[in-house]
Amino acid sequence: MYPERVTALIFEGGQPRPGVEQVMADLRKLVVLDNLEKLSRVGTIDQAILVTNYPDLAQQARELGVLVEAPLPGPFHFGRTLKSIIYARGLENVLCMGGAAAPLIRPEEIACLTGLLRERKNVVVVNNVQSADIIAFTPARAIDRVELPAEDNFLGHLLREAGLQRVLLPNSAWINFDLDTPADLMVMALLPGLGRRTAEGLRRLNLDLSRLALVKKLLLIKGSELGLIGRVSPAVVSFINQNFEARVRVFSEERGMKALGRAGRGEVISLIGLVLERLGPAAFITYLSRVCQGALFDTRVVFAQLAPGLTDEDRFYSDLGEHERIGHPFARELTRAAGEAPIPVVLGGHTLVYGGLWALAETVLAEGRAGPPGR
């Protein structure tokens, strides 16, 4: 047993523009505060630190007894900021989470994570091999061994390459669900067990959940056809196959496109994108409606290929189905076609076809309307 202190750091910040980006930012702040309360109930965490540039969030965190740090001056750089805090506060064992990472995580899962840090040395614990947003490692000064990443997703991979033993957290909806897009808000609004601030914030948004609720019902229908497009994880497909009699039609591509730098270098190439480019969104959605009764579509892959430079605002309005507010012609037409489809087609990001789908499936099982879970 190693008695060194364990410190949890949550990073949350940005420069959201008025409108849908600000709505997302405000909901994420509620998730952060709820997660900070969870951290306070985990006995294996000695202290929690919030890293943020939001004055209002910083003040509310201080009222909860949480330490607050500001990012380093200039454009935000995750690695440099993390290293600065490690040295300034003499940290020994570190758990890092993005502000909207794991809004469904439970105290017992946090305790399992931090327990690993107390029991072992020279390990890095991650929730995803390719693009982790929960990263725990010891010793903290292993940060000196890597080229500091600008974003958090690649840190786990770098630490493993630097000699730490990687431990992958057991797959579950509560670990792999994060909050990046309005589609994730819609998923959360259908789930139980949310923090009180988050639940109240979602109620105030009054989101249209009708299409997603229809997709959720497909899981209960024997022989129904559910389409999954984008960065679909084999783990969630396996979970559905073990627990439900619905059929899934899966087209998975470009997993890890951000963490591997493919999106940043403009290297994303997608067969679905090529088909969309050839047929156009309306014809593609028509064909999709012939082969499944509902679909979850991670659009970020085709957007990276066919709409490079698309703004967060346009992506978010696409998730909400508000095509008339979207400036980019391809994103607008795809969103319009999905909204007019004869089947429920839900657009979103990576979480929609991974942690979001998993959370919906777990919820159906917990509600007792499906057969006994397979493991």
Separation between Cα atoms, residue 133 and residue 102, nearest integer Å? 9
Q: Extract the tokens encoding 290.
A: 């012939």
Separation between Cα atoms, residue 323 and residue 342, nearest integer Å? 17
Q: Which pLDDT belongs to residue 183? A: 96
Domains and CATH numbers, the chain: 6-170 (3.90.550.10), 209-365 (no CATH)
Mean pLDDT of 36-40: 92
End-to-end CA distance of the chain: 31
Instruction: Categorize the per-residue pLDDT at 122 as very low, low, confident or very high, splitting at 50, 70 and 90.
Output: very high
Q: Which pLDDT belongs to residue 109? A: 85
Q: What is the pLDDT of residues 304-326, one digit of tens each?
A: 999 998 999 999 999 999 999 99
Q: What is the pLDDT of residues 241-298, one digit of tens each?
A: 999 999 999 999 999 898 788 998 999 999 999 999 999 999 999 999 999 999 999 9
What SS3 state is found at 37?
A: helix
Separation between Cα atoms, residue 91 and residue 138, nearest integer Å? 10
Task: Give me the DSSP letters along 83-133.
Answer: HHHHHHTT--EEEEEETTB-TT--HHHHHHHHHHHHH-SSEEEES-SSS-S
Q: What is the pLDDT of residues 148-189, one digit of tens each?
A: 999 888 899 999 999 999 998 887 777 888 898 999 999 999
Q: What is the pLDDT of residues 183-241, one digit of tens each?
A: 999 999 999 889 999 999 999 999 999 999 999 999 999 999 999 999 999 999 999 99
- Give the rounded percent of residues in the chain with a pLDDT score beyond 70: 97
